Amino acid sequence: MELPEARYNLNSGSGSHAEETGKMLIGIEKILLKEKPDIVLLQGDTNTVLAGALVASKLHIKIGHIEAGVRSYDRKMPEEINRIITDHVSDYLFAPVETARKILLKEGIQGDKIIVTGNTIVDAIYQNLEIAQKKVDTLNKLNLQSKKYFLVTAHRQENVDCKDRLKGIFEGLELIYDEFNFPVIYPIHPRTMKMIKEFKLKIPSGIKLIEPLGFLDFLQLEKHASLILTDSGGIQMESCILHTPCVTLRDNTEWMETIEVGSNILSGCEPKNILESVIEMIDKNVNWENPFGDGTSASQIINVLKSQPI
**Residue 276 and residue 282 in contact, taking contact as beta carbons nearer than 8 Å:** no
Residue 155 is among the residues annotated as catalytic for this protein: yes
CA angle 28, 32, 38 (to 5 degrees): 135
- CA-wise closest residue to 290 among 252, 245, 242: 242
17, 60, 65, 155: which is the annotated catalytic residue?
Answer: 155
**Residue 9 and residue 31 in contact, taking contact as beta carbons nearer than 8 Å:** no
- Cα 142 off chain centre by: 24
- Expressed in percent and rounded to 5, the helix, strand and coil fractions of the chain are 50, 15, 35
The Cα 67–Cα 95 span in angstroms is 5
**Residue 264 and residue 240 in contact, taking contact as beta carbons nearer than 8 Å:** yes
Report the b/e string of 282-297 with b at 16+ CB within 10 A.
Answer: bebeeebebbbbebeb
The Cα 257–Cα 260 span in angstroms is 5
CA dihedral (124, 282, 209, 48) positive or negative? positive
Q: Which residues pair with 150 in a beta bridge?
A: 184, 227
Q: Which helix (H) or strand (E) holds 224?
A: helix 215-224
Phi and psi at residue 18, in whole multiples of 5°? -65, -45
CA dihedral (109, 92, 51, 123) positive or negative? positive
The set of catalytic residues is 155
